[in-house]
């Protein structure tokens, strides 16, 4: 075989793969990270921080918390005892509660779920659709559908009963409308919650006006499941055992 024939039958050298420039690869990875963060924030987990003392002693000012959204998928809804984050149902936010990020970078990061978000409210669910909440029995405990709720293990309260944001220890709310929640802060005497938005004080024995006391379920972002900062206070949160008595 001639040299010309050998050259004609020799396999062609493989073409070199073109390498993506480092700056383009970095931009691609950044874009994928942002998309992933948006997906996680929208459907799975979102970070928030605590702007006030309304959930003490469990959650303190500037605690960073994680909220999971999976529990309320597929028709699931908040249960009594859940600590939930929700959007303002109408003039509930005070100046401190409305605090959000403080700069352009943190604002961008909060929008994609990489920085804790403010501007929402954090409360504990006390009543769900159909429930009646009354204050209070002879021991100062709330009654949910006539059953006393012993909240002493998870609340902070300087008042004489478990509903001190109302000027009297004799009030009632409910039945809670379908698709609504009655919520309260664990710091009972320092929380602008459902009890705070009851309008009581009419003629003696006249029921309170509870028309502005409820939170629509559709405004709930999700359930708080972890406190992640400061690191010394890291904890996974669960529903207090006291709420089990309400299920019986």
Of 34, 246, 223, nearest to 134 by C-alpha is 246
Residue holding tokens 């529903």? 239
Residue holding tokens 């949160």? 237
Provide the 3-class DSSP secondary structure of residue 156. Answer: strand
* Residue 29 contacts residue 197 (beta carbons within 8 Å): no
Give the Cα-Cα-Cα angle 17, 22, 28 (nearest 5 degrees).
95
Contacts of 51 (CB under 8 A, 6+ apart): 61, 62, 96, 97, 98, 99, 118
Q: How far apart are CA 19 and CA 51, in angstroms?
A: 48
Which segment, 17-21, 85-89, 130-134, is predicted with the most confidence on average?
A: 130-134
* Residue 168 contacts residue 204 (beta carbons within 8 Å): no
Indicate which residue of 41, 52, 54, 194 is catalytic: 54
Mean confidence (pLDDT) of the chain:
76
Q: How far apart are CA 103 and CA 210, in angstroms?
A: 39
Tens digits of residue pLDDT in 164-217: 777 777 888 879 999 999 999 999 888 888 888 887 765 555 667 787 889 999
Give the gyration radius of the chain's Cα atoms.
Answer: 27
Given CA atoms 60, 51, 122, 168 in this order, what sign does their dihedral have? positive
- Residue 33: predicted pLDDT: 56
Tokens found for residue 134: 């009354």
Percent of the chain with pLDDT over 70: 67
Contacts of 94 (CB under 8 A, 6+ apart): 52, 192
Length of the chain: 248
pLDDT at 113 over 50: no
Higher pLDDT, 229 or 15: 229
- Residue 182: predicted pLDDT: 94
C-alpha dihedral, 152 to 131 to 225 to 109, nearest 10° = -120
- Residue 8: predicted pLDDT: 54
Tens digits of residue pLDDT in 18-28: 666 666 555 55
Tokens found for residue 8: 């004609």
The runs of H, that is alpha helices, within 44-120 are 104-111
Given CA atoms 169, 170, 175, 180 in this order, what sign does their dihedral have? negative
Active site residue 153: no
Tens digits of residue pLDDT in 57-73: 889 888 888 888 777 76
Assign 101 a pLDDT band (cuts: 50, 70, 90).
very low
- Residue 115: predicted pLDDT: 46
Indicate which residue of 123, 151, 191, 223 is catalytic: 123
Percent of the chain with pLDDT over 90: 15
- Residue 13: predicted pLDDT: 55
* Bridge partners, 17 (sequence order): none
Active site residue 91: no
Tokens found for residue 206: 């006249």
The runs of H, that is alpha helices, within the chain are 3-9, 22-43, 104-111
- Residue 129: predicted pLDDT: 93
């Amino acid at each position: 075989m001639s040299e010309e024939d050998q050259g004609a039958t020799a396999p062609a050298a493989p073409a070199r793969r073109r390498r993506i420039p480092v700056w383009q690869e970095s931009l691609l990875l950044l874009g994928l990270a942002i998309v992933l963060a948006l997906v996680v924030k929208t459907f799975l987990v979102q970070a928030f921080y605590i702007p006030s003392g309304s959930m003490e002693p469990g959650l303190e000012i500037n605690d960073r918390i994680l909220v999971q959204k999976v529990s309320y998928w597929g028709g699931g809804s908040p249960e009594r005892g859940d600590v939930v984050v929700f959007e303002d149902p109408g003039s509930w936010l005070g100046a401190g509660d409305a605090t959000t990020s403080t700069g352009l970078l943190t604002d961008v990061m909060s929008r994609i779920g990489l920085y804790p978000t403010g501007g929402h409210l954090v409360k504990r669910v006390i009543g769900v659709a159909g429930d009646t909440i009354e204050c209070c029995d002879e021991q100062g405990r709330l009654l949910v559908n006539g059953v006393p709720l012993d909240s002493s293990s998870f609340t902070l309260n300087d008042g004489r009963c478990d509903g001190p944001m109302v000027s009297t220890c004799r009030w009632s709310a409910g039945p809670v409308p379908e698709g609504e929640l009655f919520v309260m802060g664990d710091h009972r005497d320092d929380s602008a919650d459902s009890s705070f938005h009851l309008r009581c004080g009419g003629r003696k024995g006249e029921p309170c006006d509870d028309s502005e006391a409820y939170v629509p379920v559709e405004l709930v972002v999700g359930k708080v499941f972890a406190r992640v900062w400061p690191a010394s206070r890291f904890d996974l949160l669960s529903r207090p055992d006291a709420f089990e008595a309400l299920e019986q």
